[in-house]
Structure 1
């Protein structure tokens, strides 16, 4: 990594060819829903448009090709930053991705998951607006609420991260936002909707807290009593956030060689 920075700096002074930066490898979960792979590929293109010259590749944890070990193998001994397309900490972030990195010959840094982050909140807000959400007036605010539908995990840190996103979204919307999960955690979307209705919240929307379409996202949308937003998808803010995580992972190296 240091050699890369030295070559980059000397190239800018002496006119030699500048070495390519470490590749940004998006790490998707994988899905049998073909829309998921299409969405991630569109996101890759948006990242490339934002930062020309940055190698952007893709590796999946399961279900879709290329799988992450294959993407890393193709890098040989090159440099890469893995950016998980995951919204919270959990088993994939803590175990699966580091194990794949450790087993490869590439020189790898691992960025943090995408969430929580304000850019995700803005994306959630815009997806809700696209689905028909409008800011409630003073009277409607007392009967409005949102269920933040996430995948779910047995790791307690994942729930902490999702609750933080729910709090940020509640502040953005001005109404209560309750996390709910498609699997491995409670409450379910159905239970969250029922609990909110029992508290007099009759205007309930479901915000889809998934990076791409898939089975869980579809199930949560089906459980919505009315308005439900689309997954985060290839929203421009998602491309900016992936680059932000890449830059954060690179920051220690840049500081050490400054």
Structure 2
């Protein structure tokens, strides 16, 4: 009697041995199996994410001023792909600092103040906000200025405004503060700008609020001393009320705010790195 089913050649298991492969030795279920290579070790866990860079801007009623802060941080993200860069504001815009701290939801972060000088915000407001949120362990970076990268950005803005090298004195128009330490930072920034310009012309610090001389007074004093080619270097991050006031002097040239200058973006990233490194050293 014939088998109910024809033999299936090459089919393994119940229908017979598997196909013979030259050089493989015996075939079929009793053939010795080639040992498999050892399994690789389990994949490594993902490296921990870097802390969030939480930039804290002053805030403004000017939509252009708020937009300038966001545009600057887009430049920072371009410099540091993969880094979580967020923005918040001390006043007049959202998200507020408390909102941004709550949104961290347990993530580590480094606060980077988008402030050009030290002062009350850096000494009091920011530490108090961290304490209220129970996040005093988060590193707080220094103010952006004074720093040579700011001098480079200011010099470029003056050149873009049309001031030729050696044209005349420069008035550095800063926001100003009732805190003497903040105004001392502006004086130091004026020295750094003079070094950067390297044309032998003085750079006079002036203040748009809370201190004197004002830019208007500084320009008038230089005109009275016989200088005609006076320039105003706008030592502000963004357009707004103070920038409009800086532009209202009789100076021959007035530069635009620092805005999204590449040197400023690099300085924000530098302050983040600096604060993170200091925090690591403190826990060793």
Counterparts of 1:183-194 in structure 2, within 5 Å, are 183-194=209-220
Counterpart position of 2:177: 153
Q: 1:218 aligns with which of 218, 224, 244?
A: 244
Q: 1:20 aligns with which of 31, 38, 49?
A: 49
* Contact residue 20 and residue 53 of structure 1 kept, 8 A: no
CA distance in 2, matches of 1:185, 1:120: 21
Higher radius of gyration, 1 or 2: 2
Q: 2:268 aligns with which of 213, 227, 242?
A: 242
CA distance in 1, matches of 2:161, 2:57: 25
CA distance in 2, matches of 1:98, 1:256: 18
Counterparts of 1:35-74 in structure 2, within 5 Å, are 35-74=64-103
1:101-151 CA-partner distances (Å, limit 9, x unpaired) = 111144411000000000000000000011101112xxx5xxx10000000
Which ranges of structure 1 fall in alignment gaps of 5 or more residues?
1-12
TM-score, length-normalised on structure 2?
0.81
Counterpart position of 1:96: 125
1:100 to partner: Cα distance: 0.9
Q: 1:76 aligned to 2:105? A: yes
* Contact residue 139 and residue 279 of structure 2 kept, 8 A: no
* Structure with more of its chain in helix, by fraction: 1
Counterparts of 1:187-206 in structure 2, within 5 Å, are 187-206=213-232
What is the total number of aligned residue pairs between the two structures? Answer: 240
Does the residue aligned with 2:70 lie in a helix, a strand or coil?
helix
Q: 1:87 aligns with which of 96, 106, 116?
A: 116
CA distance in 2, matches of 1:126, 1:236: 11
CA distance in 2, matches of 1:113, 1:257: 23
Counterpart position of 2:259: 233
Summarize the Cα distance change of 1:190–1:256 in structure 2 as closer, same or farther, 3 Å threshold.
Answer: closer
1:254 to partner: Cα distance: 3.7
1:37 to partner: Cα distance: 1.3
TM-score, length-normalised on structure 1?
0.89
Q: 1:115 aligns with which of 145, 148, 168?
A: 145
Which piece of structure 1 moves more, 215-224 or 118-127? 215-224
| Greater RCO structure (CA 8 Å; 6+ sep) | 1
1:46-100 CA-partner distances (Å, limit 9, x unpaired) = 1111111111111100000111110001112221111111011111111111111
Summarize the Cα distance change of 1:172–1:77 in structure 2 as closer, same or farther, 3 Å threshold.
Answer: same
CA distance in 2, matches of 1:168, 1:200: 24
CA distance in 1, matches of 2:279, 2:247: 42
Which piece of structure 1 moves more, 125-134 or 167-176? 167-176
1:257 to partner: Cα distance: 7.2
Summarize the Cα distance change of 1:257–1:17 in structure 2 as closer, same or farther, 3 Å threshold.
Answer: farther
Does the residue aligned with 2:109 lie in a helix, a strand or coil?
strand
CA distance in 2, matches of 1:78, 1:105: 13
Counterpart position of 1:9: none
RMSD (Å), alpha carbons? 1.6
1:255 to partner: Cα distance: 3.8
Q: 1:171 aligned to 2:195? A: yes
* Contact residue 146 and residue 188 of structure 2 kept, 8 A: yes
